[in-house]
Structure 1
């Protein structure tokens, strides 16, 4: 995430909006990083590279039936999935009511039959045995990195259990965080070799893909890099360059 001017006079960790002529951003007090960014010209675009990387799950499952997300932020990923994956049931778990309160500012859609935001602790929610997810996106941030409670081995075992038999976990880690390597070690212990990492352009985010089964090995990436018939052209135009980066990473494994 690119650096931004510090937010002053707010309690550490409190969400704060900032607006320029081009974008609306979300930043947490006490952190130099921009957590989320929305283009005012194209509010449904994925403005930050790491969010486009997280959508890389489409290379392996282009039409997931159920998507579960831990962490709302500015809502870039939920908004994108809601718009371009109309077949998906989408559930977002966010612990901070202050972040949820900003959903209208970031033009996150209202709850409906296939989209809902739940205020809850993501760790506790997974322990409650939710319906299996075809895709589980974890993008939780407390101003320093992954919250400590989500950096424990038990959380990653719960993530594994929450996936459907061929489900995919996508996790955003912050390379400068002290817990990044700890989380990677726990993930490898749970998912074994069914895991790979991609680093974003500015070398601040490590996006981890992990799965149940052999989905990564079985996917024909050449075919996957062709636009699925059901995905809108404007969505594919945003994602295609980033998907080539993921393909290159897998090729070098």
Structure 2
């Protein structure tokens, strides 16, 4: 366990399971595993939410360009890299040590098809032209804080504008998020079709696109065809029965919620941010601020980086 930025970056091993954790330094409170791998079966996706995220392939089965906001240990990017040799995968990650851990412990191998930039996820996307067939937003701090600017109408409009006509956006949302309804409202202002896939009362994998709804029977047939082609080494289709377009099934207050806008964060939203000034903190002033503002840490929550 090593103090890096605002977290202790921790790797644990239990049997053949390797797990990555980001623990807040002052109040380590999370039971949320950032990434998980089975050393005996590295081509398997262990986390149910990562398995469900692969359902996006049902709408775009041959992705050529893929974008991830948040890299973690790189499990989903690496699986896509393996099974889809025609795809180029770009990832944005704010903490370089996380990428180092992914390479050292989780077997991540970066190349001209799997690239990681140390940058805020929204900033990177705004600065790069081109279109993606698949995008995934999966960014959390230890206590479940998700950057506000990665949940607003304006951000989802940017995502829409960067997607191909049949492109798909996947967003990982926590089931206990007190702003879940607001995030879904924001997404609904931009995308015509949204599916939610609840995962073990912990996560909600949200799949959004503008391709229109598809009957579940058709999705099952498409999943079987994909499985026949790729021979995925994990239960690819098991989450299809959980897919629902009824957003109120996970957010009963949806109709009363207001969408998030860039210039109007709700009062108290940032109260769950971790402490940025601790005896252990070593956040480089030039790195993206973990709050998700899009500014550098030294220009936002951070003091100038300590001299060695």
Please classify the TM superposition score into its range, dividing by the shorter chain length. 0.7 to 0.9
Does residue 225 of the first structure (1) align with residue 219 of the second (2)?
no
Query: Which residue matches 1:3?
Result: none
Q: d(CA) in 2 for partners of 1:77 and 1:149? A: 23
Q: Specify whether residues 251 and 185 from structure 1 end up closer, same or farther in structure 2 by C-alpha distance, changes over 3 A only.
A: closer
Give 1:134 shift. Answer: 0.6
Aligned partners of 2:55 and 2:237 also within 8 Å: no
Query: Which residue matches 1:81?
Result: 80
Q: How does 1:44-63 map to 2 (within 5 A)?
A: 44-63=43-62
Give 1:15 shift. Answer: 2.4
Q: Specify whether residues 126 and 10 from structure 1 end up closer, same or farther in structure 2 by C-alpha distance, changes over 3 A only.
A: closer
Q: d(CA) in 1 for partners of 2:124 and 2:5? A: 26
- TM-score of the pair, normalised by structure 2: 0.71
Q: Deviations along 1:178-218, whole A, 9 cap, x unmatched?
A: 332221110011113x1111101x2110111111243x448
Q: How does 1:74-223 map to 2 (within 5 A)?
A: 74-104=73-103, 105-112=105-112, 114-143=113-142, 144-192=144-192, 194-200=193-199, 202-214=200-212, 216-217=213-214, 220-223=218-221
Which structure has the greater CA radius of gyration?
2
Q: d(CA) in 2 for partners of 1:208 and 1:163? A: 16
Number of positions where the alignment pairs a residue of Structure 1 with one of Structure 2: 240
Q: d(CA) in 1 for partners of 2:94 and 2:78? A: 18
Q: 2:236 aligns with which of 219, 234, 239?
A: 239
Which of 1 and 2 has higher RCO (CA within 8 Å, sep 6+)? 2
Q: d(CA) in 2 for partners of 1:11 and 1:120? A: 14
Q: Specify whether residues 10 and 222 from structure 1 end up closer, same or farther in structure 2 by C-alpha distance, changes over 3 A only.
A: closer
Q: Deviations along 1:8-67, whole A, 9 cap, x unmatched?
A: 988743422112222111111122211111111112210110000000011112111111
Aligned partners of 2:43 and 2:79 also within 8 Å: yes
SS state at 1:191 partner: coil
Give 1:230 shift. Answer: 7.2
> Deviation above 6 Å: which 4+ runs of structure 1?
7-11
Aligned partners of 1:145 and 1:179 also within 8 Å: no
User: What is the root-mean-square deviation in Å for CA atoms of aligned residues?
Assistant: 2.5
Q: Specify whether residues 32 and 9 from structure 1 end up closer, same or farther in structure 2 by C-alpha distance, changes over 3 A only.
A: farther
Q: Specify whether residues 95 and 154 from structure 1 end up closer, same or farther in structure 2 by C-alpha distance, changes over 3 A only.
A: same
Q: Which structure 2 segments of 5+ residues have no match?
A: 250-308
Q: d(CA) in 1 for partners of 2:118 and 2:2? A: 27
SS state at 2:229 partner: coil
Q: d(CA) in 1 for partners of 2:215 and 2:31? A: 40
Q: d(CA) in 2 for partners of 1:132 and 1:121? A: 18
Q: d(CA) in 2 for partners of 1:118 and 1:9? A: 21
Q: d(CA) in 1 for partners of 2:224 and 2:153? A: 37
Q: d(CA) in 2 for partners of 1:239 and 1:142? A: 27
Q: Deviations along 1:139-173, whole A, 9 cap, x unmatched?
A: 11112142223122221111111111111101100
Q: Which structure 1 segments of 5+ residues have no match?
A: 1-6
